[in-house]
Amino acid sequence: MTCHLRGQMLKLVPLADYTSWRIGGPAETLYKPSDLADLQTFIRHHLASDEPLLWLGLGSNTLIRDGGVKGTTIITQGSLKQLLFLDPKTIRAEAGVSSAQLARFAARNGFGGSEFLAGIPGTIGGALAMNAGCYGHETWEGVVAVETIDRFGEIHVRTPAEFKVSYRHVVMPPGEWFVAGHFQWPESVLPEQALAAIRSLLVRRAATQPTGDYSCGSVFRNPPENYAARLIEACSLKGFRMGGALVSPKHANFIINDGTATAKDIEALIKHCASQVLQQQKVSLQQEVHIYGDP
């Protein structure tokens, strides 16, 4: 039995190049599979059963601490990139496909209701894992099935009923990770209309969010009946800085790396914003961003 790898394995690679904050210490081992079959080979023959495993797509919604991460980091962007029709109504998108790619693909083929995905700055793997959303819509609205991979390299096809899905949170079987999603949107529209809706959404996003800066997307979840950005702004924190990290003057739920920030700066500013909102507004903010690694 052959276990030849076709992907790229690297040691002690800084993860700053793989996160949207452009921050992060080294990965002990980094693997870029060539495709899903190669990923299966890697997991089956080159990964210890108890080895820590981190998955990164575009690296948004993620803070890698300055000390880096132990174990193996798998990069899905540029690797798990298949995007195709399973049947006339169902689109299959692998985990490394960007949410914006899926939005445009669906729009060009006349699927309405998927346009909001263009506003999510990440990949399908991450969108599935956290039920990412924007402008009143969420990823799992269109999910009819998902594919996961386990520690033995086996692929499982699962239905939404097998997951507990809520606002920015998905509970899934332990020891499994998303490798693809199957999507359907029942609304039929003219491709020109759907593509125009995407363009309008992106113009709106650029006008209200710091899309040209290094950020992770939204830092905190919106509390019930409220907005994290409004609460942070009410504490006069817009533009507040710690080292090279600052609260975006454009949108208070974004923290910006000015190019000199460390993960320590970012994490300290996240904690400061949360503590000030709790102290001044009596609201406990929940982080949307996930933090990994050693200080």
The per-residue pLDDT for 1 is 44
Q: Is 228 exposed, middle or buried (0-12, 13-18, 19+ CB in 10 A)?
A: buried
Q: State the pairing for strand pair 245-247/137-138.
A: unpaired
Q: Is the pLDDT of residue 50 over 90?
A: no
Do 132 and 169 contact (CB within 8 A), yes or no?
A: no
Residue 236: active-site member? no
Q: Is the pLDDT of residue 101 over 60?
A: yes
Among residues 133, 40, 66, the alpha carbon closest in space to that of 291 is found at 66
Catalytic residue among 44, 158, 168, 205: 168
Catalytic residue among 60, 215, 218, 248: 218
Token pair for 275: 């503590």
Residue 51: active-site member? no
- The string of DSSP codes covering the chain is ------SEEEEEEEGGGGSTT----EEEEEEE-SSHHHHHHHHHHHS-TT--EEEESS-TTEEE-TT-EEEEEEE-TTTS--EEEEETTEEEEETTSBHHHHHHHHHHTTEET-GGGGG--SBHHHHHHHT-EETTEEGGGGEEEEEEEETTS-EEEE-GGGSEEETTEEE--TTEEEEEEEE---EE--HHHHHHHHHHHHHHHHHHS-TTSB--S-SBPPPTTS-HHHHHHHTT-TT-EETTEEE-SS-TT-EEE-SS--HHHHHHHHHHHHHHHHHHH-----B-SEEES--
Please report, to the nearest 10 degrees, the dihedral formed by the alpha carbons of residues 231, 237, 242, 244 taken in order: 100
Mean pLDDT rounded to a whole number for the chain: 96
Mean pLDDT along residues 82-111 = 97
Per-residue pLDDT band at 48 (split at 50, 70, 90): confident
Mean pLDDT along residues 211-233 = 96
Mean pLDDT along residues 47-54 = 90
Phi–psi pair at 126, nearest 5 degrees: -70, -40
d(CA 173, CA 162): 8
Start-to-end CA span in the chain (Å): 41
Mean pLDDT along residues 185-193 = 90
Mean pLDDT along residues 100-126 = 96
The per-residue pLDDT for 187 is 78
The more confidently predicted of residues 30 and 186 is 30
Mean pLDDT along residues 234-262 = 98
d(CA 160, CA 152): 22
Q: Is the pLDDT of residue 150 over 90?
A: yes
Phi–psi pair at 20, nearest 5 degrees: -75, -15
Residue 147: active-site member? no
25: left (phi over 0), alpha (psi -120 to 50) or beta: beta
Do 263 and 15 contact (CB within 8 A), yes or no?
A: no
Catalytic residue among 115, 147, 267, 288: 288
Domains and CATH numbers, the chain: 8-75 (3.30.43.10), 83-208 (3.30.465.10), 228-292 (3.90.78.10)
pTM exceeds cut of 0.95: no
Mean pLDDT along residues 236-265 = 98
Which of 73-77, 86-90, 117-121, 184-188 has the least mean pLDDT?
184-188
Q: Is the pLDDT of residue 229 over 80?
A: yes
Mean pLDDT along residues 79-108 = 97
